[in-house]
Amino acid sequence: MADEPYSLLMSPPDDANAIQLASIKVTFTSTANRKSQAADEAGIEASWAEAREKQPRLFDKSKFRLASIRWTNGAINIDLGLTSYKDYVGTNRLPVERRTALEADGERLYGDRTAFLSNALGVEAVLETSDGQIVLLRRSTAVTGGHGLYNGPSGHPEPSHAGLEEAPVPTATNAEAVEAASQAAARELFNSVLQEIVEETNVPITALSTPLIIGCMADASGKPDLLFFVRTALDAAGVRAAYAEGASDGWESDKLALETPDVPDGETLADLIKRKEALMSKLNDGTATRDDHRALDATMTEIERRNTESSGSVKRSDTAEGAAPGGASPETGAAALETKVEAPDASTPQTHI
């Protein structure tokens, strides 16, 4: 399997408990929106027209913009603004020399090289079957990038699903409105990853556990993805069967693969943490190989598994195929959140990178 370069933006401490909705703090305001320059807007329109010509399925829609993410005082703090898919195509996906010029402008004018970038926030799942395999999808030629590469079920949180048409302007008198919008955005982050799994694999939402955040990464264009760990009550054969029946967004991939995490038996949590640190060092100094990337993914997944099992937050499913994970009711998945995951709308297929 080919690899795409990425950088790790945030990883919770190895001794952190399962990162669920209650353990994140989202601030959604207009101050986190992309800065704009009049000279750039015509270029964005031209880039969008070119992309639409190559991929007719593309359509513009609002997205969350990631301004910053950090681990502070035992919680993940996320600053979000509003952007659009068109702005993402016209900024992050520019040729390297043009994107570098935008970054230089941002650094010069705002002290922030990402100020003029869309940085549309995506979500991606490490989806583990009940018999311990990881679900990967090979990207088809119908999507805008990464053709032939494998990733987990992925997509975008949708501001419109949370009823958010614009990012509120923070003032001294609208703190409650900002807080309400921020909480709605936080819920959509978790809801969206479950919806993407359902739409791309056809695994029913009642067979999915509550998502847990395990990190945040950015690809070579700077586009960020929030990473989640999700278990399904289906075994590998059950996932294959569901995928073969046809998913609503099945056109985004052309093959499903299952990988067994390569974690040696008998390793202690301390051993895993040491291995993660060594692999992270190679990633940061640019010497990581394809096998190192896969080993890091497997190691982080195993660390999260051990932490969640020790805290009792999520248990491995021993239930029959199709039941809710851990013998629990469907409330362990999307229904445990405060907003409902919407049924897939086949009339508006979304292409994402």
In a domain, 93, yes or no: yes
Among 59-73, 217-231, 283-297, name the one with the lowest average pLDDT. 283-297
CB 108 within 8 A of CB 213: no
How many domains does the structure of the chain reveal? 1
Residues 285-323 as b/e (b if ≥16 CB within 10 A, e otherwise) read: eeebeeebbbbbbbbbbbbbbebbeeeebbebbeeebeb
In a domain, 82, yes or no: yes
Among 172-176, 228-232, 334-338, 342-346, name the one with the lowest average pLDDT. 342-346
**Model confidence at 335: pLDDT above 70:** no
Question: pLDDT class for 265, splitting at 50, 70, 90?
Answer: low
**pLDDT computed for residue 313 by the predictor:** 40
Give the predicted TM-score (pTM) of the model. Answer: 0.76
**pLDDT computed for residue 44 by the predictor:** 95
Distance CA 169, CA 219 (A): 29
CATH number of the domain enclosing 197: 3.90.79.10
Among 51-60, 64-73, 156-165, 284-293, name the one with the lowest average pLDDT. 284-293
Rounded mean pLDDT of 16-24? 84
Rounded mean pLDDT of 236-263? 84
In a domain, 193, yes or no: yes
Among 53-57, 58-62, 142-146, name the one with the lowest average pLDDT. 142-146
Q: What is the number of residues in the chain?
A: 353
Q: Phi then psi for 261, rounded to 5 degrees?
A: -55, 135
> What CA dihedral angle connects 78, 82, 88 and 92, to 10 degrees?
-40
Rounded mean pLDDT of 77-93? 97
Do the strands 224-231 and 212-219 form a parallel or antiparallel pair, or are they unpaired? antiparallel
**Model confidence at 346: pLDDT above 80:** no
Rounded mean pLDDT of 83-94? 96
Question: pLDDT class for 78, splitting at 50, 70, 90?
Answer: very high
In a domain, 149, yes or no: yes
**pLDDT computed for residue 63 by the predictor:** 98
**pLDDT computed for residue 341 by the predictor:** 36
Q: What is the token pair recorded at 163? A: 């009823």
In a domain, 79, yes or no: yes
Share of the chain above pLDDT 90, in %: 53
Per the structure, the complete domain to which residue 288 belongs is given by 6-336
**Model confidence at 290: pLDDT above 80:** no
In a domain, 290, yes or no: yes
In a domain, 84, yes or no: yes
CB 51 within 8 A of CB 205: no
Contacts of residue 238, Cβ cutoff 8 Å, sequence gap at least 6: 129, 130, 232, 321, 322
**pLDDT computed for residue 1 by the predictor:** 44
**pLDDT computed for residue 326 by the predictor:** 33
Distance CA 189, CA 49 (A): 29
Within 13 Å and on the Cβ side, how many CA atoms surround 198? 19
In a domain, 344, yes or no: no
Nearest alpha carbon to residue 166 among 151, 152, 184, 153: 184
Quick one: 95 exposed, middle or buried, by C-beta within 10 A (0-12, 13-18, 19+)? exposed
Contacts of residue 148, Cβ cutoff 8 Å, sequence gap at least 6: 2, 138, 139
**pLDDT computed for residue 317 by the predictor:** 30
Rounded mean pLDDT of 217-225? 93
Question: pLDDT class for 299, splitting at 50, 70, 90?
Answer: confident
Residue tagged 């704009």 (tokens): 36
Which of 338 and 269 is assigned the larger pLDDT? 269
Q: What is the pLDDT of residues 180-197, one digit of tens each?
A: 999 999 999 999 999 999
Residues 197-218 as b/e (b if ≥16 CB within 10 A, e otherwise) read: bbbbbbbbbbbbbbbbbbbbbb
**pLDDT computed for residue 190 by the predictor:** 97
